[in-house]
Amino acid sequence: MQLFVDGLADQAERFDFPVELILVEWNPPAERPALVEALRWHVTDNFRPRVITVPPEVHHTFPHADRLPLFQMIGKNAGIRRSQAPYVLATNIDILLSDELFEFLKAGLKPNALYRVDRHDVVAELGGPRLPSPAECRALPVLRQHRLDGMHYPQGRPPATRREQRLEPLAVKPAINELSRLTLAAWDRVRLPKLHTLACGDFTLTSREVWSALHGYPEWPEYSWHLDGVPLYQAFAAGVEMINLPPPMVAFHLEHGEGSGWTPESERLFDRLDAAGIPYLGTREYRKMARKLVHGPRGFHPVNGDDWGLAAMDFAEQHPRG
């Protein structure tokens, strides 16, 4: 998180471009210091951070709150709803933006457009005696590229995933299930528009007006899997221009522990979710929803009501000082 804050603060100053950073501190543990105290801040005229705290008593009003400590998309909506800038980038705390991307953002954005970029995964040494700089992290070899045309491995594909290892010749039932999944996926490639949904939760940028028309992300009390892709199909159905920026305009993702988030080489995340009884939007349901949006009547078709982003609630807000 410190790298994320440092990276934005540095680029805001170098490119002389004002940035309003809204960090939503959701359900903070009582035994840990608040983000305002835990992080170093470099507040300037161009870098203006705000920390909005959604307390545990609000978190525990949602179903599954005892098993899921963070409702990511509801938290993002709370930040989007309270933003003051004309354009809002929804992203995560393990992301750095390339200088080329930052320079493009300064050049001017279209109001009725939604912007996406490729995500490049890098492995940084974060447990050493010195935290690497954002520039050093951006210069690291790329492990994976999440592109419009799929996943790519510049250094070679790693060993087979556990799912692939299960599909042995004698595993007839899993093989049939996999064939059905692949058939449906192939059919969806024909019926659905080619939107850049890979890793879209790490970079979705559009105007406040479009976010408002969308009513943000679906506010379902479940793990965030696939929820980040729903607004892309909603925006497409409403006629918003979908713009995929080419490299080197990319977002760098700092790789973290297996099972803490999704990686294509492991199923530990879903094993953990299933074991805990934590719901998530399955791929078939997600694609069914996407088909309904893009082949139905034109419009945004928001999932949430007018109170999206916990609009009726007043949260403590702090403005860090440098």
Q: Where are the domains of the chain?
A: 2-318
Indicate the range of 107-111, 131-135, 174-178, 266-270 predicted with least confidence.
Answer: 174-178
pLDDT in the model for residue 191:
85
**What is the pLDDT at residue 119?**
98
With helix as H, strand as E and coil as C, how does 4-39 read? HHHHHHHHHHHCCCCEEEEEEEECCCCCCCCHHHHC
Quote the CA–CA distance of 183 and 109 in Å, as a whole number: 38
Q: Long-range contacts for 4-9 (Cβ within 8 Å, ≥24 apart)?
A: 4/92, 4/93, 4/94, 4/95, 4/96, 5/39, 5/40, 5/41, 5/42, 5/49, 6/40, 6/42, 6/133, 6/134, 7/96, 7/97, 7/134, 8/47, 8/97, 9/41, 9/42, 9/43, 9/44, 9/47
Average of per-residue pLDDT across 125-148: 95
Which CATH number applies to 2-318? 3.90.550
Whether residue 58 has pLDDT greater than 90: yes
Q: What does the pLDDT average to over 249-260?
A: 79
Q: pLDDT tens for residues 43-56? A: 999 999 999 999 99
Q: Which residues contact 102 (CB under 8 A, 6 or more apart)?
A: 11, 15, 17
Mean pLDDT, residues 262-281 taken together = 84
- Average pLDDT score, the chain: 91
Q: How far is CA 139 from CA 106, 155, 268, in A?
A: 22, 15, 29
The answer to whether the beta carbons of residues 208 and 88 sit under 8 Å apart is yes
Is the pLDDT reported for residue 26 higher than 90? yes
Whether residue 248 is preceded by a cis peptide bond, meaning omega within 30 degrees of 0, is yes
pLDDT tens digits, 192-223:
999 999 999 999 999 999 999 999 999 999 99
Query: What's the pLDDT at 166?
Result: 43
Identity at 153, one-letter amino acid code: Y
Q: Specify the pLDDT at position 165.
A: 45
Please give the backbone phi and psi of residue 188, each rounded to the nearest 5 degrees, phi first: -65, -30
Q: What pTM does this model have?
A: 0.91
